[in-house]
Amino acid sequence: MSKHAPDITDTSRRNFTKAIVAAAVATPIAASLVGCQKKSTNSNLAAPSPVPGGPSIVACDSATTGIEEHIPPMELDGSGSLRLELSNMLRTTSGAAPFRYVEDGIRRANDRYGELESVLVISELYPKVDDQYISVKNYSGLPPGSQLLLWYQKIFPPNPPGGDDTDVGYENVATYPPRDPDVRIIGGPGNGRYFEMTLKHKELAPRDFSHKPGRPWRYTHRPDATIAGLGRHFRIGQWRIVGPDGETVVAPNFEGRDAVDYKLYPTFDDFHGS
């Protein structure tokens, strides 16, 4: 079990994290990324794909992501549970697990989510990596039919009981089941196929309001949604962008695991077809 040890930098680091995340959401992505001052020295993470026009990772010091957005990106927050903010309402088509969600109340086809086009990932790192606590990368150039997968990781309660909530540990997971994620998100390519999201364990609570014009609908797991083996509190332990077979990673390093917190912003292409 890994340990998140107390540190006198925690308070300032958390304030810095909130400021970075707020800036990334409230301003154009290109402008927010320019504010990063340190470039990762890990060439495997920062370097774009060698295939011209193929999958690429844009690091936080890049001037542009190259993505033209019609619908605001969805937000997935995985710290302590799962929170989802998006443009379109959702409804479930299944009464038992796994719960399959689709868009609801869409009046114009062009307002639907099309193919998964890119994923911006903000990772909070502890201990720091390459002298950074925050990593911001955009994963783009995804092939048609790409999917975003999330796996949950158990958060253990403070030890000793009643201690500071930073005195927690996380479940040590050697390998997450590659074909059995806790969340699977698939874009809608058209021709009778639409956006869908599948939750392995528990359904979402009725929609709430985020008070954000671009992403007005907020969903979380039901407050009583205790997940077997995880309880009510967990984090995103691993995320992965895979191809249309639902398992094969799109490109090297198009995945991440075991950050203290992940915020993911999937961007979808315009919906095409009927």
Comparison of pLDDT for 189 and 159, the residue scoring more: 189
Q: Return phi, psi of residue 33, to 5°.
A: -75, -30
Query: Stretch 102-118: mean pLDDT, rounded?
Result: 94
pLDDT at residue 173 in the model: 94
pLDDT at residue 272 in the model: 86
pLDDT at residue 164 in the model: 72
pLDDT in tens, 206-229: 999 999 999 999 999 877 767 887
pLDDT of 77 above 90: yes
pLDDT of 21 above 60: no
Specify which residues 86 forms β-bridges with: 217
pLDDT of 41 above 70: no
Query: Stretch 245-249: mean pLDDT, rounded?
Result: 97
pLDDT at residue 222 in the model: 77
pLDDT in tens, 225-242: 678 878 778 999 999 999
Distance CA 198, CA 204 (A): 11
Paired sense of beta strands 56-58 and 168-170, if any: unpaired
Predicted structure pTM score? 0.78
Residue 131, burial from CB neighbour count under 10 angstroms (0-12, 13-18, 19+): exposed
Query: Stretch 99-104: mean pLDDT, rounded?
Result: 96
List all residues 6 or more positions away from 252 whose beta carbon is below 8 Å from its beta carbon: 44
Residue percentage of the chain with pLDDT more than 70:
74
Q: What is the mean pLDDT of the chain?
A: 80
Comparison of pLDDT for 202 and 27, the residue scoring more: 202
pLDDT bracket for residue 11 (50, 70, 90): very low
Coil, helix or strand at residue 214: coil
- Region for residue 44 given its phi and psi (left: phi exceeds 0; alpha: psi -120 to 50; beta: otherwise): alpha
pLDDT in tens, 53-74: 788 787 654 434 455 677 899 9
pLDDT at residue 101 in the model: 97
pLDDT at residue 52 in the model: 61
